[in-house]
Structures are given as C-alpha cells and as structure tokens.
Amino acid sequence: MTKQDSVSMNDLKRLYQRYQVEIEREVASTLRSGWWLNGAMGKRFAANFSRFIGVSECVLVANGTDALEFALAAVTRDGSRGREVVMTANAGGYASCASWHNDLVPHYVDIEPTSQLVDRGSVLKAVKTDTAAIVVTHLYGGVVDVRALRIELAAAGLSHIPIVEDCAQAHGATIGGEVAGSLGDVSTFSFYPTKNLGAMGDGGAVLTSDPAVAAQIRQLQQYGWSSKYHVGVPNGRNSRMDEVQAAILDVLLGEVDIRNEQRRAVLNRYKSVAGHRLQFLEGGDGAVAHLAVALCDDRDAFRAFLRERGVDTDIHYPVLDCDQTGWADLPMKGTENLAVSRASVSRLCSIPCYPDMREDEVETVCVALREWEAR
C-alpha cells in the first residue's frame, strides 16, 4: 500500500464533500447577511444544540478550553481561590488548564481500567466539604454515570459540590436514556474539527439549565460587560464563535446520531477481530466512539506493525497532566494515587475510526489487527 493509499487517522475533506451543497448554501447565506458575529445564525444553532442536549441554555464561545474555564468560573463561589477541583489526569490537560486559570488546584483521581473513565470511588475518596468542583470527562466518547455519582455524593453529605461535564468527545452520547451534557450542573463542548460534531474552524459551548450560570458566562465571554463598554465582573475576555462556524455546525447537527452510529459500526468491526493482544476500551452502551482506543502491551511494536501495513496510529494522550514538564511547578494534588492511570498511559493506542472511512479502509485495518493477533 502506498502512502497515498494509506489509512489516515481522519480525512476531513470527505466530511466537506458529503455535505458540500448544504454547507455552501448556509455559509453563503450567512456571508450575504453582512452579520458575521453575534447574529441570528449563532442564536439558531445555540437553540438547536441546547434542545439536542436537553437543557435550556447554550452559550457559544471560541473553543472548548474557554468553555471549561468559564464553566469553572461560574460554578465556583467567591473565595474559591486555592480550592481543589477533582478530575482525572489522563484527558489531555484541558481541565487542568481551566483550573489553574481560575486559581484553582487540580486534585487528580484514578480511572477505571476497561473504560479509562474516572473511577467514582476515587472521586468519593478525594472530595471534601470545601472542594470547589468536580470535572467529569466523558473520554473517547464513553460516558461517566453522573447520576450515580450524584447519588453517592448526596449520601456522603456532599451534594453541594458542583459537577462540570466535559463533553468535548461525547456529542450525542447517552447513559440510561439521558444525554451527556444534561447530567451535571454545567457542561462544556468543543467543536474542534475532528469532534463528533466538528466545525470547519474552532468553537465551543457551555450548556446549563441554570439561567444565573448562563448569565455569568455570557458576561465572562464578552469582557465581563454588564452593558456595552461597562465592565461588571472581573476576568472576562473576548471569546466568541463566528456566524460561519455556527452555520456549518447547524447543518451537521442534524446527522450527529447517524454519524455516531457509523463510528460505532467501525469500532465494533475492530472489536470483533481483536483478541488477547489488544483490549479496546468499553465506554458503555451509549458511547459514541469518538476514538478507537486500545490497550496494547507492546505499543511501539504494534504501531510499527500497522505503519508497515499503511495504517496510521496516534496516542491520546501520551503524558499524564501531572507529569507534564511545563506544569511541574504548578499546584496539584493526588499524584500519588494514580496506579491505573500510570499503568495505562504507556499502553494506549488510537487507530482510525471516523464516519467517512471507506469499506476497504476498515477492512485493511481489520486485516492488520488479525495479523497482529495471530503473531
């Protein structure tokens, strides 16, 4: 197989080609309107997306990391500086950054080995009465049981601790018939191009059914204004999604569920040929296969094996937040209690899994996986 014919981790040109007519129609209409920020298209997408998730408020922002930062700012009370935010250390560092930017301290907890999602028991051991918040990341398209966590917190007398859902990899994921993003006090989404619902640029959103939280986030994402040019709260800035991205996302929103099914079908093909040498992660019945991630004891050899057969791979994520060199001097807690996280980080490997893969590409990957298992 030549490099040109190799199976890449993603090919976003195919997404554009599939929806080209609809996208170009809506983008052209938006451009002709002469209103390219804070306009009708953004309002339409926000309304449609909040309805899709099942909450009442959706604030569009520039990216998913801003969304996390604003969400934490909105749910933590005055005097929270220096307090802890409970989270995992294996999700790329975004929640960690959001905490530090709010003068909060990440308190890392461990994960479940088969899903790589947060271990609820570890959360319950880490939380205290003055914990500022819990960030629950629905990683790789898998879903954390937030409802169960709420019940457990209430039983421990800790129901006052706000839960932020990081849904950057879980657009349309469900658990118990409920949609990820509707389960916590506030939820955040990224619309980075490779997401299950991705823009052709960047964007993010904060969702909640608490009007007061939504109002605070709207202030923070517009310089902290209480009215035009009048700053009512500190630490605000400019964080907006443009109208063109909102128009594109509104087109793609209508087929998120269909495309998630296509992702799941690809991942299920891989699982059907995996054996003892690869263990694909299990994110629950409502998972949406944002990535196809496996645990492999000989990862470097596995990646080289697939590369020889024309299949790209990647690692999500190669370094735990607490082990990043550039963050070594920042405040953090819980680093000594991450046995599963540390045992997993050198074994994780992602292989191509996206809705626009061709049948021959999926079969090429399956053949390579069978050959690897037969060695």
| CATH architecture of the domain covering 256-374 | Alpha-Beta Complex (3.90)
What is the residue-wise DSSP string for 118-163?
A: BPHHHHHHH--TT--EEEEE-GGG----HHHHHHHHHHTT-TTS-E
Structure confidence by residue, pLDDT tens digits, 229-241: 999 999 999 999 9
H or E element, residue 295: strand 292-296
CB 187 within 8 A of CB 213: no
Domain 14-253: which CATH number of 3.10.129.10, 3.40.630.30, 3.50.50.60, 3.40.640.10: 3.40.640.10
Secondary structure (H, E, C), 223-252: CCEEECCEECCCCCCECCCEHHHHHHHHHH
Structure-block tokens of residue 245:
């991205």
The reported pLDDT for the residue numbered 121 is 98
Which pLDDT score, from 0 to 100, does residue 2 have? Answer: 47
Classify residue 112 as exposed, middle or buried by CB count within 10 Å of its CB (0-12, 13-18, 19+): middle
Q: For 76-114, what is each residue's pLDDT tens digit?
A: 977 788 999 999 999 999 999 999 999 999 999 999 999
Distance CA 264, CA 259 (A): 9
- 71 by Cβ neighbours in 10 Å (0-12 / 13-18 / 19+) ranks as buried
Beta strands in 98-254 (DSSP E): 105-109, 133-137, 163-166, 174-175, 178-179, 186-190, 204-208, 225-227, 230-231
Q: Do the first three CATH levels of 14-253 and 256-374 match, i.e. the same topology?
A: no
- Give, rounded to a whole angstrom, the gap between the first and last alpha carbons of the chain: 21
CB 218 within 8 A of CB 59: yes
DSSP 77: P
d(CA 222, CA 23): 28
Element (H, E) at 260: helix 256-273
pLDDT tens series, the chain, 375 aa: 444 579 999 999 999 999 999 999 999 999 999 999 999 999 999 999 999 999 999 999 999 999 999 999 999 977 788 999 999 999 999 999 999 999 999 999 999 999 999 999 999 999 999 999 999 999 999 999 999 999 999 999 999 999 999 999 999 999 999 999 999 999 999 999 999 999 999 999 999 999 999 999 999 999 999 999 999 999 999 999 999 999 999 999 999 999 999 999 999 999 999 999 999 999 999 999 999 999 999 999 999 999 999 999 999 999 999 999 999 999 999 999 999 999 999 999 999 999 999 999 999 999 999 999 999
Which residue ranges make up each domain of the chain? 14-253, 256-374
Assess contact for 321 and 327: CB atoms under 8 A: yes
The alpha helices in 7-93, defined as continuous H runs, are 12-18, 20-33, 40-53, 64-75
- Going 171 to 174 to 175 to 176, the CA torsion angle's sign is positive
3-class SS of residue 57: strand
In three-state secondary structure terms, 222 is strand
- Would you tell me how many other CB atoms lie within 10 Å of the CB of residue 61? 29
Give the strands of the sheet with 57-61, arranged side by side: 57-61, 204-208, 186-190, 163-166, 133-137, 84-88, 105-109
pTM: 0.97
Q: What is the H or E stretch that residue 258 is in?
A: helix 256-273
DSSP-derived 3-state class of residue 118: strand
- pLDDT for the residue numbered 5: 73
- C-alpha count within 13 angstroms, C-beta hemisphere, residue 342: 10
Task: Report the alpha-carbon angle 112-115-120, nearest 5.
Answer: 40
